[in-house]
Chains A and B, each alone.
Chain A
Amino acid sequence: MHVVGLFAAVAIALAAVPFFGLPAFYETFLYLVFHWIVLATSWNILSGYSGYFSFGQGAFFGLGVYATATLAAHYRWPFLATLPMAAAAAAGLGLALGTVVFRVKQVRGELFALLTLAVTFVLATVILNTSIDGGPGVYLSAVSLPAIGRTPASTFYLLELGLAVATLAIAWWIARSRLGTGLFAIHDDEDVAEVLGVPTFRCKQVAFAIGCALAGAAGGIHALFVSYVTVAETFSITVPLTVVLMSVLGGTRHWAGPAVGAAVITIISYASTTGDHVLAGKAAVGVILIAVILFMPEGILGTLRPGRTRSKRQQGEVPQAVVPAGPGDQDFPRPAIQSSTTGARVLSLREVSKAFAGIKALDRVTLDVYRGEILGLLGPNGSGKSTLINVVSGYYSADAGSIVFDGQSIERWPPHRVARIGLARTYQIPRPFAHSSVLDNVVLTAMFGAPALSRRDALIEARRWLDFTGLASKANALPAELNLHQRKFLEFSRALASRPQLLLLDEVLSGLTPTEIDSAVGLIRRIRDQGTTIVLVEHLMRAVIALADRIAVLDQGSLIAEGMPDDVMAQAAVKAAYLGTAANVAG
Chain B
Amino acid sequence: MNLPSPTLLAQAILSGIFVGALYGLLGLGLSLSWGLLRQINLSHFALAFLGAYLSYQLATVGGVDPLVTLLVIAPLFFVLGAAIHGLLSRFAVTPLNSLLVTFGLTVIIESVIQWYWTADYRRLASRYADITFRAGPLFVPLPELMTFLLSVSLCVAVWATLRYTDLGKAIRAAAEDAPIAAAFGVNQRTLAALLSGVCAALAGAAGVCLALTYTLTPSQLYAWIGVVFAAVMIGGLGSALGPLFAGIVIGVSEAITMALTAPSWAPLVSFSLLIVVLLVRPGRA
Contacts and interface: CB of A to CB of B under 8 A. Distances in A.
Given A100-B279, A115-B275, A286-B105, A129 B265 contact: yes
Contact of A287 (B96, B104, B106, B115): B104
A579 interface: no
Nearest to B272: A122
A53 B101 contact: no
Nearest to B108: A286
A241 B278 contact: no
B103 A289 contact: yes
A119 B32 CA distance: 25
A128 B111 contact: no
A117 B229 CA distance: 11
Contacts, number: 109
Contact of A293 (B93, B264, B274, B282): B93
Contact of B267 (A111, A125, A285, A293): A125
B283 A289 contact: no
Interface in A81-122: 100-101, 104, 106-107, 109-111, 113-115, 117-119, 121-122
A236 B229 CA distance: 17
Contacts of B225: 237
Contacts of B112: 283
Main DSSP-derived SS at the B contact region? helix
A135 interface: yes
A293 B93 CA distance: 8
A110 B95 contact: yes
B106 A111 contact: no
Contacts of A226: none
Interface in A262-283: 279-280, 282-283
Contacts of A279: 111, 114-115
Contact of A289 (B101, B264, B275, B278): B101
A121 B103 contact: no
B271 interface: yes
Contact of B285 (A111, A280, A286, A294): A111
Contact of B275 (A110, A118, A283): A118
A294 B274 contact: no
A286 B278 contact: no
Contacts of A175: none
A114 B274 contact: yes
Main DSSP-derived SS at the A contact region? helix
Q: Which of A114, A115, A122 has the most C-beta atoms of chain B within 10 angstroms of its own C-beta?
A: A114
A294 B90 CA distance: 9
B99 interface: yes
B144 to A, nearest CB: 25
Given A109-B95, A109-B96, A293-B97, A129 B264 contact: yes
A128 B271 CA distance: 15
A279 B274 CA distance: 33
Contact of A118 (B101, B262, B274): B274
Interface string B257-271: 000001011011001
Given A113-B99, A118-B230, 16 more contacts: A110-B95, A110-B96, A114-B233, A115-B275, A121-B226, A122-B267, A122-B268, A124-B267, A125-B265, A125-B271, A129-B265, A282-B110, A283-B111, A287-B108, A293-B100, A294-B91
Interface of A: 53, 100-101, 104, 106-107, 109-111, 113-115, 117-119, 121-122, 124-126, 128-129, 135, 236-237, 241, 244-245, 248, 279-280, 282-283, 285-290, 293-294, 297
Please name the 10 residue pairs, one residue from A and one from B, whose CB atoms are nearest each other, closest first.
A286-B107, A289-B104, A106-B282, A283-B111, A290-B104, A286-B108, A286-B104, A118-B271, A118-B274, A125-B268
27 contacts: A53-B96, A100-B279, A106-B283, A110-B285, A111-B278, A111-B282, A115-B278, A117-B226, A122-B271, A122-B272, A122-B275, A125-B264, A125-B268, A126-B268, A128-B264, A241-B103, A279-B111, A279-B114, A282-B107, A282-B110, A287-B104, A287-B108, A288-B104, A289-B100, A289-B101, A289-B103, A293-B97
